[in-house]
Amino acid sequence: KVYFYYGLVNYYQNHRRYVKSRDDNQLLGKTDAVSKDCQPFQKSVNGSDYTPCGAIANSKFNDSLTLVFNGSQTVPLLNTGIAWTTDKDVKFKNPNNASTYFQNNPPPPNWKYTAWDLDKNNSDNNGYKNEDFIVWMRTAAMPAFRKLYRRLNTNSSQTFQGGLPQGNYTLKVQYNYPVINFSGRKQFIISTTSWMGGKNPFLGWAYIVVGIVCMIAFVVFFILHKTWKL
């Protein structure tokens, strides 16, 4: 199984003001007036609520990344199955008559198109239920973070049945998302997963160091126990 991530560095998705700027009820498909938390992305100039509202939604990551194998073959990627199924099933629902609703209400100012245009090919992955959107809305804990972007479609072609074969890969980036203003960096990560998650040597080192400290303490205590008299 191969996963593709995009990473953002120096991006404070956990900023208090930013994190709060959303309305979970709206994302549940309720069409009531949205919460004031969404400010300043609550209402458009003409007074109707943004769909979806809030700073998080407004700043959704919108670069499109494609990977080309050996200069010719586009790596087949799946844009579903990347969000938690519980999120997709419970926390995000489209309102009734989604298409007209999204047409009648303005998208966030930074969006070029409405939420109903997020995935035109798959109505189950459209609107609030779009998985890219759901992944983005699950805000990151730290200013350097990675989010799941796509997973490899192993069924569509023979080449990628067993993962990514060896060869030259070209990453094509449709650059929509500016990060230069806050000295941010973007990353693209291709990774498989193990039972311990992604590659991170920290835990291993930490265990070794703490183990050594414990050994030293053991020796000291042992000697003290044998020799120290009150």
Q: Which is nearer to another protein, 69 or 82 (CB)?
A: 82
Retrieve residue 53's tokens: 């509202």
Among 51, 59, 105, 130, binds another protein (CB under 8 A): 59
d(CA 30, CA 94): 8
Longest dimension (CA), the chain: 85
Establish if 72 lies at the interface with another protein (CB under 8 A).
Answer: no
Smallest gap from Cβ 208 to another protein, in A, equals 11
Residues 199-218 touching another protein, rule: CB under 8 A, are 199-200, 202-203, 206-207, 210, 213-214, 217
d(CA 147, CA 83): 10
Q: Which is nearer to another protein, 22 or 118 (CB)?
A: 22
Q: Which is nearer to another protein, 58 or 79 (CB)?
A: 58
**Binding string, 129-168, against another protein, x = CB under 8 A?**
---------xxxxxxxxxxx--------------------
| R_g (Cα) of the chain, nearest Å | 23
Q: Which is nearer to another protein, 175 or 221 (CB)?
A: 221
The H or E element containing residue 204 is helix 202-227
Parallel, antiparallel or unpaired: strands 169-174 and 185-191: unpaired
Retrieve residue 122's tokens: 């798959």
Parallel, antiparallel or unpaired: strands 64-69 and 169-174: antiparallel
Q: Which is nearer to another protein, 161 or 222 (CB)?
A: 222
| Residue corresponding to tokens 């060869």 | 167
Retrieve residue 151's tokens: 């997973």
CA distances from 73 to 4, 158, 161, 167, 172 (A): 17, 12, 14, 11, 12
**Binding string, 2-31, against another protein, x = CB under 8 A?**
---x-----xxxxxxxxxxxxxxx--x---
Residues 113-132 touching another protein, rule: CB under 8 A, are none
Q: Which residues of the chain form contacts with another protein (CB under 8 A)?
A: 5, 11-25, 28, 35, 37, 39-40, 55, 58-59, 84, 86-87, 90-91, 138-148, 178, 181-182, 195-200, 202-203, 206-207, 210, 213-214, 217, 220-221, 224-225, 228, 230
